Structure 1
Amino acid sequence: MSAETRKEWQRRIMRAMRAMEARLDEEWRLDDIAREAHFSPYHFHRIFTGMTGESVGAYLRRLRLARAAHRLAYGDRPVTEVALAAGFEAPEAFTRAFRAAYGMPPSVWREEFREQTRPRDLTELLPPVTREEPMMELAVTIKRVPPLRVALVRHVGPYDRCEAAWEKLCGMAGRLGLFGPDTRFIGVGHDDPRITPPEKIRYDACLTVPEGYAGTPDLPVAVIGDGDYATAVVKGPYTNLGPAYAWLCGVWGPDSGREFAAGPSMEVYLNDPKTTPPGELLTEIRVPLEPKA
């Protein structure tokens, strides 16, 4: 297989993966997934497994279990309801699969996760280098975020190693003339690092694009947002974002009267890290909320 052919196949596999991520509740048939990637269903399962290291079924199961773990950690739905939403007809089957993935039953996971993320003060979470700074105070606002058209580059791996994705995104966007005065730079984190292994974490480096841009194979377009989000502006280095998410979810969340949705969070980078001192960086974090009852 030539390098260009391999690159094209990787793009097609990524299209299929994004389709499954976007419609995780659907009952996917192999033929439908293969059609998303423009592969023959006869060979698609082997192609997917060979290129990703997971079978299609294992990939869907892992994402659904990760979403279930998120719902258990940050919501109050009964375990049986979470199991049904994850595609399991019987709670016993869900418990077996969950234990195999996370080493404990779902009810124990919920208790232990909440116990580990129950800080009453953000200073408990800040790394030592920042504790001498004034404690950040997060003012949380619930916003309705409209649908946003973005061009994106996918990074798979730890969140703190996503620089190459941004360099690729900005390089291609510059050549295509996509930058404008209203361009926004947004990171979309699909996975909670407390739930997903570091090497499996998915992150999309995104920038908003004008309506006239339809995307290219190397720089596709997606729609993000379109819902209620709990938002807060975090000042300081990006190492503050993990503690800020923990504060928003573990301290603000229980008293908010709202429940977090099992969708990806967003980070809107309000200034340029290349020209802004780390202590002056501003990042708006956005965590999705379930629709108000």
Structure 2
Amino acid sequence: MKTHTRQDYLQRIDRVVALLQSAVAEGDELPELAQLAAAAHLSPFHFHRIYRALSGETIGQTVARLRWLRALQLLAEPAERVTETALAVGYETPQAFARAFRQTFDATPSELRGQQGRLHEAMQRLRRPAKQDAAEQAFEVEVVSVEPFRVVATRYEGEYRELDQAYGRLFAWAAERALLERLAGIYGIAHDGGPEALSGRGAFDCALAFEGDEVQGDAQAQPLQLGGGLWARWRHVGSYDALGALSDRLIAQWLPDSGYVLRDEHLFRHFLDDPEEVPEAALRADVYLPVARC
């Protein structure tokens, strides 16, 4: 079967951007998720995550960037009025447009229109996503088969750097049920929250695995199944706070040319060390990507 190269993936992202750009330029409704995923030949399940990893921005950020680019293109036309420009890029009033414009460009629309050099420089900058750290990182990845296993999980929503409190509540739940002596592993599942989802925040399942008999869940913690099938495993050493951004980079740098594609399962993390006992620089975690051969 066809190997999906990095260039192939980037061309898919370009098709998505072209669809969004056309909708913004015409003032049409934005395409639905299914349409965007189909244009990229990607599963809707992982579409937002792959798009963010490869483009360096969320769908929402792309739309905002393209709308500002369209606004500047219209302002570059001498006959175009600010009111019409505001309406064309989705603002209900020119006043709201002017406020947002000043926050973005540190100038009013009329001021920037009068500075053609600055106007065109801003347009050029908006044609591509903001430059990301392009430093390549060597990812030592192995593809392994993982037998299905059960965990008990509780859902947390917010900044991932506050996850220790959510895990604390889950450990307290397990302690009340005399389960800690059977603890077999600490896991986490980061959920992709949609077009605005940024690495480092959103919905996250804090999970514990236990040896022995299956643990029954309740309103506070529910049973989940992880594993099953092939998984690309990469070990991270260092702060757990970096795992979201590094997982995106793993997808962007390893997945293309790997000979694998992502399956419709959630990525999960296996935390091997306790941050309260191990120095941050020495913390270890295994990141698992669900994959299938191309």
Q: TM-score, normalised by structure 2?
A: 0.54
Contact 2:60–2:195 under 8 Å retained in 1? no
Deviation digits for residues 8-55 of structure 1 (CA, Å, limit 9, x no counterpart): xxxxxxxxxxxxxxxxxxxxxxxxxxxxxxxxxxxxxxxxxxxxxxxx
**Following TM superposition, by how much is the alpha carbon of 1:195 offset from its aligned partner in structure 2, in angstroms?**
4.5
Partner of 1:165: 166
Mark the CA change 1:292 to 1:118 in structure 2 (over 3 Å): closer, same or farther.
farther
Mark the CA change 1:250 to 1:119 in structure 2 (over 3 Å): closer, same or farther.
farther
Alpha-carbon distance in 1 for matches of 2:44, 2:239: 40
Contact 1:193–1:201 under 8 Å retained in 2? no
Amino acid at match of 2:163: C
**Following TM superposition, by how much is the alpha carbon of 1:270 offset from its aligned partner in structure 2, in angstroms?**
0.6
Alpha-carbon distance in 2 for matches of 1:189, 1:221: 16
SS across alignment from 2:228: strand
Deviation digits for residues 262-290 of structure 1 (CA, Å, limit 9, x no counterpart): 4321111111111001111001111221x
Alpha-carbon distance in 1 for matches of 2:232, 2:35: 20
Mark the CA change 1:204 to 1:116 in structure 2 (over 3 Å): closer, same or farther.
farther
Match of 1:277 among 273, 276, 279: 279
Match of 1:79 among 39, 46, 67: 39
Structure 2 runs not aligned, ≥5 long: 1-31, 47-57, 66-126
Alignment of structure 1 residues 180-195 onto 2, 5 Å: 180=181, 183-191=184-192, 195=196
Q: Which structure would you say has the larger Rg?
A: 2
Alpha-carbon distance in 2 for matches of 1:239, 1:262: 25
Contact 1:190–1:263 under 8 Å retained in 2? no
Partner of 1:232: 234
Counting aligned pairs with the same residue, the percent is: 20
SS across alignment from 1:222: strand
Partner of 1:119: 134
Partner of 1:133: none
Alpha-carbon distance in 2 for matches of 1:193, 1:84: 10
**Following TM superposition, by how much is the alpha carbon of 1:158 offset from its aligned partner in structure 2, in angstroms?**
2.3
Higher relative contact order (CA 8 A, sep 6+): 2
Deviation digits for residues 219-250 of structure 1 (CA, Å, limit 9, x no counterpart): 22111222322111111111332343133211
Alpha-carbon distance in 2 for matches of 1:255, 1:179: 42
Q: TM-score, normalised by structure 1?
A: 0.54
Partner of 1:286: 288
Contact 2:190–2:268 under 8 Å retained in 1? yes
Residue correspondences, number: 191
Structure 1 runs not aligned, ≥5 long: 1-63, 73-77, 87-97, 106-110, 123-136
Alpha-carbon distance in 1 for matches of 2:258, 2:237: 22
Alpha-carbon distance in 1 for matches of 2:139, 2:200: 30
Alpha-carbon distance in 2 for matches of 1:68, 1:183: 42
Contact 2:60–2:196 under 8 Å retained in 1? no
Alpha-carbon distance in 2 for matches of 1:241, 1:85: 20
Partner of 1:266: 268
